Structure formats: C-alpha cells, structure tokens
C-alpha cells in the first residue's frame, strides 16, 4: 500500500469519526426549552352574561379579559391570537359593540412585544383561534407571518358572507394577503410534538385551540373561545351565539378527555379570575 493510499484512508477515517461524533452529540443534546409569554390584549365588559349561558344571569354583568400568547421555539416564533385593536388605547372609556360588549385596551400588543425584543416583524407564524374581532384586532401588524387556520374558518372569513358567522372583514383588512397554511385537523407546528394546533369546532366553523408542552410548567391548552369562563366549562354550556351549540358541547367533552389523558391544564383566555393567577409578559413560562 502506498503512502498516498495510507494517508487518504487516514483522512477518511478521521472525517468519518468527526461525522459520527457530531451526530452523536446532536442526538444526545438536551431539548431546548420552549418559552411562553401571556399578553394583556384588552378587557371586555359584558352587560348581559346570559348571552354566554342562556337562561342564567339575565341582565347581570361580567368582566372578561382578552389574552394573547407568544411561543418561542428553537425553530421559530408563534403568536396565538392578536386581541382587540391597539387603537382602542386612545379611547379610555372603551367602545360598545351590539349594545352588550364594552371593549377597552390599556396596553398595546405591539408595545408588549417590543418590550421583550420580539417586535411584530420577528413573528414567523400567526395562529388565530377564530376570526371574531377580539381575536384578530391586530392581525395587520404581522403581514409576513404564516397564517395557520382551519380551512372552514378561512373559507368563512374570506367567503361571500362572513357576517353570517359573526366575522367583520374590516377587522382584518390585510390578512387575506398573508401566506397561509389551511388546516384540516390537528397540526404539529414545529414537528416535534410540543406545539400543536387542536381542531375544536363549535364556536365558529373552524375554531381551534393550542396545545403547548412546557418542560417545567407542564402541558397547557390555550382555549381560544372553546369556553369563556370556568363556570361554563364546569357545566358545559354553549353561548347562544355559537355557530354550532351541539358541536360545542361535544367538543368540550372531547377536550376534557384530552386534558385528562395528557395531564394538561386548560387556560381559558377570557377568564378574568383564572388569568389573575397567570403571570403576564415580560414574565414567562418554560
């Protein structure tokens, strides 16, 4: 064997060892943690809570909060819901919708994102639980983000008669131009089982929730409007304005089983009392 052959074999052996070592290091490297931020995305004063629980509490008031979330994953960023419009911060007394909802904003979503160094242009994916105005109010801040939405919801929001479903296109004027991935079921956003959009139909034609597996905090399901407050969750009540009330109840029962099977906690995005115990940005969960 020539010296040149010996040298080439030695180089090959060293290269192969380096490749194998790199692969082993990659396989043994600890999984990078997720980070989840919760944002204050508005307040909704409900002047007649019986809309949410037909036949109960007619004429009674209830305060709901509005919460948005940011998930930081090693492979990208996902914003879940965009809340009431930031412009409402200029109307301290709030604005009234349908003579039943008084909506106010005290902190803008844009400012909260910038505070933690994730301005709107840093968002890779935009997950919208559903297309009602209190969940899409700032969608136009993220024109570059990939929209992740159930096909039924997208078709209803951008179809011939969005008002039929309680959607107002003036609340999301630029969203149709976003890149989009239309979903037809559950979707693993980053491909590792830690951030999964769950198909949870009923409130709207293509409603969805978000399941997040956090290493320290545990498993969490962000509700969207699957349910609006704890009492309705306990009694499995469907609001009078839901798209499909029967399907809503079925979905709630299915989700309850999912939570039990996965030892997960339901975070109800509008529940004021529950949210009072959840730390908000700039604090975070891992």
| 73 inside domain | yes
What is the domain range of residue 161? 69-82+110-273
C-alpha closest to that of 84 among 106, 111, 62: 106
| 47 inside domain | no
| 58 inside domain | no
Render pLDDT for 91-134 as a digit per residue (tens, 0 to 9). 999 999 999 999 999 999 999 999 999 999 999 999 999 999 99
C-alpha pair distances (Å), 76 with each of 72, 79, 126, 231: 6, 10, 11, 35
- For the chain, list the strands marked E by DSSP: 35-46, 62-73, 76-80, 95-97, 101-104, 125-127, 146-150, 180-183, 187-188, 195-199, 208-214, 218-222, 264-267
Q: What is the pTM of this model?
A: 0.89
- Give me the pLDDT at residue 1, please: 54
Total count of domains within the chain: 1
Render pLDDT for 127-176 as a digit per residue (tens, 0 to 9). 999 999 999 999 999 999 999 999 999 999 999 999 999 999 999 999 99
On the question of pLDDT at 5 being above 70, the answer is no
| 76 inside domain | yes
- Give me the pLDDT at residue 100, please: 96
What are the strands of the beta sheet with 125-127, ordered from one edge?
95-97, 101-104, 35-46, 62-73, 76-80, 125-127, 146-150, 180-183
| 267 inside domain | yes
Residue 31 pLDDT class (50, 70, 90 cuts): confident
What CATH number should be reported for the domain holding residue 228? 3.60.15.10
Render pLDDT for 65-96 as a digit per residue (tens, 0 to 9). 999 999 999 999 999 999 999 999 999 999 99
| 45 inside domain | no
C-alpha pair distances (Å), 15 with each of 21, 155, 246, 260: 10, 53, 62, 49
| 53 inside domain | no
């Amino acid at each position: 064997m020539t010296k040149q052959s010996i040298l080439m074999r030695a180089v090959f052996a060293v290269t192969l060892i380096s490749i194998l070592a790199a692969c082993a290091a990659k396989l043994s490297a600890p999984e990078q943690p997720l980070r989840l931020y919760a944002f204050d995305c508005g307040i909704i004063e409900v002047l007649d809570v019986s809309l949410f629980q037909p036949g109960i509490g007619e004429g009674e008031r209830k305060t709901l909060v509005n919460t948005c979330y940011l998930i930081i994953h090693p492979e990208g960023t996902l914003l879940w819901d965009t809340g009431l419009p930031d412009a409402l911060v200029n109307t301290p007394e709030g604005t009234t919708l349908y003579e039943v909802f008084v909506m106010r904003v005290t902190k803008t979503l844009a400012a909260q994102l910038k505070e933690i160094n994730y301005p709107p242009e840093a968002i890779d994916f935009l997950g919208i639980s559903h297309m009602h105005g209190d969940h899409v109010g700032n969608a136009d801040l993220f024109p570059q983000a990939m929209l992740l939405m159930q096909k039924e919801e997208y078709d209803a929001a951008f179809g011939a008669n969005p008002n039929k479903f309680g959607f107002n296109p003036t609340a999301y004027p630029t969203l149709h131009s976003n890149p989009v991935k239309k979903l037809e079921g559950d979707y693993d956003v980053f491909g590792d089982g830690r951030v999964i959009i769950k198909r949870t139909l009923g409130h709207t034609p293509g409603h969805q929730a978000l399941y997040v597996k956090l290493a320290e905090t545990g498993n969490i399901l962000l509700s969207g409007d699957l349910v609006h407050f704890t009492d309705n969750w306990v009694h499995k009540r469907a609001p009078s304005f839901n798209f499909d009330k029967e399907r809503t109840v079925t979905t709630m029962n299915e989700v309850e089983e999912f939570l039990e099977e996965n030892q997960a906690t339901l975070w109800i995005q509008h529940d004021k009392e529950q949210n009072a115990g959840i730390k908000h940005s700039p604090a975070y969960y891992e």
